Structure 1
Amino acid sequence: MAVEKGDADFVSKLNEEEKKKAKEELHELNDKDREGAVQALRKWALEQDWLKTKTDFEFLLRFIRVRKYSQLGARETLENFWTNRTNVPEWFKNVDPADENIHKILRLGMVYIPKGYDKQGRKVIFSGMDGFDMTYMKSKEGQDLIYKTFCLVCDWLTLDEKAQVNGVVFVSDYTGASLDFIKYWNAELEKKLLAYLQVNVGFP
């Protein structure tokens, strides 16, 4: 096993009901098994000379859970995670959550996530097009910024333990979406986004 100092410091934020759900649906039996699974994935990752990845406990745990404790599945998802970032670098390089341009996209209401959870412990994601500034869709730079923002939000969500176990709810409101929106919506970028979601984001 590959042990790091921070392993022992990890404390799950799940309540008892969520721990039971993790056991029944994700095969997460107890703290010891969780720690062993993460360390086994880390050991494999460190043995891959070509794979340059973070190996902290919280980061690797998301790959274990999304594949329901399958080591082979977790390895595949971790590989795809970094391959996807290599294939679409403009969405993942130099991403700063404090960037005013990203804040501008968020203020448009394209993606909004309340701080809390619903009654089933799920994160709720709201997406709206009313008031959406179509000028962002008329250039590749603007389109990349929109997708960069969306991927940043999704990456943040995948580190949320409750979302890993309970899942998320996505509510989309297309009120106010015009024909211009459809005209400038890039099918090629949508294909790239779908690939990202398939290999990087997995919720129950």
Structure 2
Amino acid sequence: MSLNIREVNPTLQKIAKDELNEDPSQIPQMLEQFREWIRKSPHLRARTDDQFLVSFLRGSKYSLERAKHKLDMFYTVRQHSPEFFKDRDPEKMNVHEYMKISAMFALPTSWSEGAPRVICSRSGGYDPAKYKIEDIMKCFMLVGDILHEEDDQMIISGQINIIDLKNASMAHFTAFSPQMMKKMTVMMQDASPFRLKAIHYINVPPFFEKMFNVFRQFLNEKTKSRIYMHGNDLESLYKVVPKHILPKEYGGDGDSVEDIVKYWEHKIYANRQFLIDQTTKYGVDEKKRIGKPKNPESLFGIDGTFRQLQID
């Protein structure tokens, strides 16, 4: 049976085999079982092409049950997060400005063929009184969809996030409601085929630890163990993310942030119809779900103790 899956380099093939349990001889049967499950799930309007489905198998280390759960959550979370996924036509969004003030972008190169993809974002580059965090996050989701569609290295080797908190103020963090924090956590931990290898915070302001302790309550132990704080010490970052691949603004030899952002802005506009289709053609219909329908409260609800939490 011929599969429509991109061929990857030998290094990624070995990682897929050793770390993800990929066995090319078993993929056709698993994909057919995956598609059969989708056909028998009346609430799902899901893509069924080989490349898309294999990303969930890889992200679940070829546990078909885990892949089913991730795929269901992938579409369910999007359906119940209109602030991030509705009306996402790049030509009707302020993509240029959002990317300029608070960009999320993947570095064009990593330090080896099998290294994780490095994703950078800047959380303090915008005026929180002028811009809504939901609109900025919507732009970030566009980048994520393109990476999901095109980046085999990220799917197979995982991702490392570098979050730059330079110029971040308390107002930037209070823009994230507890419900939004929970929603972002569910997306990251339960509704994505991407394997998170590490999150590195840099240029961390003194007050961030208290804010982060709120966010930590939503994280599972695996994610907590992969979070690192570097303060203003980029030398400690260089020990885990080689300096030479980083943008010039971070002491590296790579392209400037401005040039990388321009590249990603172009990518977003070039993929306009694809990005629109991902949330207009596909999704879930809770009225057709077998069993109890899901809703924002069941997906992103927070307990009474947390609702009463105050941040001084």
TM-score by length of 2: 0.56
Aligned to 2:89: 96
- Rounded to whole Å, the distance in 1 between the matches of 2:146 and 2:182 is 21
Aligned to 2:140: 150
**Residues 1:18 and 2:9 are matched in the alignment:** no
Aligned to 1:132: 126
Q: Aligned partner of 2:10: which letter?
A: E
**Residue 4 of structure 2 contacts residue 51 of structure 2 at CA under 8 Å; is this kept in 1?**
no
Structure 1 residues 16 and 178: alpha-carbon distance in aligned structure 2, compared to 1, 3 A threshold: same
**Residue 133 of structure 2 contacts residue 175 of structure 2 at CA under 8 Å; is this kept in 1?**
no
Aligned to 1:67: 60
**Residues 1:190 and 2:184 are matched in the alignment:** no
- Rounded to whole Å, the distance in 2 between the matches of 1:103 and 1:192 is 25
Aligned to 2:280: none
Q: How far apart are residue 199 of structure 1 and its match?
A: 1.8
Structure 1 residues 104 and 121: alpha-carbon distance in aligned structure 2, compared to 1, 3 A threshold: same
Q: How far apart are residue 136 of structure 1 and its match?
A: 4.2
Q: How far apart are residue 97 of structure 1 and its match?
A: 4.0
Alignment counterpart, residue 8 of structure 1, candidates 3, 10, 24: 3
Deviation digits for residues 8-48 of structure 1 (CA, Å, limit 9, x no counterpart): 34332x21111011001111122x32233222201211122
- Rounded to whole Å, the distance in 2 between the matches of 1:110 and 1:133 is 13
Structure 1 residues 171 and 72: alpha-carbon distance in aligned structure 2, compared to 1, 3 A threshold: same
- Relative to structure 2, which stretch is displaced further, 35-44 or 163-172? 35-44
Deviation digits for residues 162-199 of structure 1 (CA, Å, limit 9, x no counterpart): 11111111111111112322333323212111111122
Runs of 4+ in 1 over 3 A off after TM superposition: 97-100
Q: Aligned partner of 2:23: which letter?
A: L
TM-score by length of 1: 0.83
- The percent of aligned pairs where both chains have the same amino acid is 27
Gaps (5+ residues) in structure 1? none
**Residues 1:179 and 2:170 are matched in the alignment:** yes
- Rounded to whole Å, the distance in 2 between the matches of 1:181 and 1:90 is 18
Q: Aligned partner of 1:175: which letter?
A: K
Q: How much is the aligned-residue C-alpha RMSD, in angstroms?
A: 2.2
Deviation digits for residues 61-96 of structure 1 (CA, Å, limit 9, x no counterpart): 111111111111111111111111122123112323
Q: How many residues align?
A: 193
**Residues 1:44 and 2:34 are matched in the alignment:** no
Structure 1 residues 131 and 92: alpha-carbon distance in aligned structure 2, compared to 1, 3 A threshold: closer
- Relative to structure 2, which stretch is displaced further, 61-70 or 32-41? 32-41
- Rounded to whole Å, the distance in 2 between the matches of 1:125 and 1:9 is 27
- Relative to structure 2, which stretch is displaced further, 153-162 or 81-90? 153-162
- Partner-residue secondary structure (3-state), 1:134: coil
Gaps (5+ residues) in structure 2? 198-312
- Partner-residue secondary structure (3-state), 2:87: coil
- Partner-residue secondary structure (3-state), 1:108: helix
Structure 1 residues 192 and 29: alpha-carbon distance in aligned structure 2, compared to 1, 3 A threshold: same
- Rounded to whole Å, the distance in 2 between the matches of 1:48 and 1:182 is 39
